[in-house]
Structure 1
């Protein structure tokens, strides 16, 4: 396991097609190839979604917490695959056993942990756990596919 591993936003943007306002991973801090990846998302009041979710009581939508975990999974897969990925993209394929444990609010640092479960051909299964201050806020299992951009 490497605690020295680090990807900044520029490297993350090389691996993911997402851009503002939908890029939900700020930094990767740990990576164990084929096993797990740990990333962070700093949640600030400047996030666009807080204007309507909810005025006077800003809460990060659960679906965006899941999306942050999915993007972390995308970074995990793109960093784990040894072959040249070229014109391939990572697509969310399904979610299971999702639970939301507590709200995420401005000022929180969302710690995004993704753990490899299994892979069959181009389908990857992972387990994700998001935490704030060491407490689970969101968790679930998800699957994703590595696909050619041209096939979409």
Structure 2
């Protein structure tokens, strides 16, 4: 398990752009964690006043950050890299709104890897409901 302090140490992300609060489990090639969604987050000022909804692109960002933590700074990763660059997002579907007070559960699993890229199946849930799912592809360096 990684807490927020551990995550801040392993990533270049800082508040307000850090979207993973806890990594609950890393069992390569899978990782899970979560983000506690709060009204204090600045994007809720404009998305949408009186009806705050976490933007889908920020849900994707949370999943991308989780994927980063599977590889970068993970001693058990078979790929030793200093950074991952997001190069593609495919088959994304947004199914459930994410609102302040929700705990956004994050899941990622490697499904394909070659000498330059890695693709992961990702999913974000609120309780039993899938908020979004798709595939993210990264190039490493």
Same fold, judged at TM 0.5 (above): yes
- What is the SS of the residue equivalent to 1:63? helix
CA distance in 2, matches of 1:83, 1:90: 11
| 1:46 lines up with 2:44 in the alignment | no
Hey, which bits of structure 1, 4+ residues long, moved more than 6 A?
Answer: none
Give the alignment of 1:7-22 within 5 angstroms: 7-22=2-17
Contact 2:71 2:79 in 1 (8 A): no
Give the C-alpha shift of residue 82 in structure 1.
4.4
CA distance in 2, matches of 1:56, 1:122: 44
| 1:28 lines up with 2:23 in the alignment | yes
Kindly report the root-mean-square deviation, in angstroms, between the aligned alpha carbons of the 2 structures.
1.3
CA distance in 2, matches of 1:94, 1:83: 19
CA distance in 2, matches of 1:26, 1:145: 24
Give the C-alpha shift of residue 121 in structure 1.
1.3
TM-score between the two structures when normalised by the length of structure 1:
0.87
Contact 2:122 2:135 in 1 (8 A): yes
Structure 1 residue runs of 5 or longer lacking an equivalent are: 1-5, 148-152
Structure 2 residue runs of 5 or longer lacking an equivalent are: none
CA distance in 1, matches of 2:80, 2:61: 25
- What is the SS of the residue equivalent to 1:66? helix
TM-score between the two structures when normalised by the length of structure 2:
0.93
Q: Which deviations, in whole Å up to 9, do the C-alpha atoms of 1:110-150 show, x marking residues without a partner? A: 00000110111131100100000121010010101222xxx
| 1:126 lines up with 2:127 in the alignment | no
Number of aligned positions between the proteins = 139
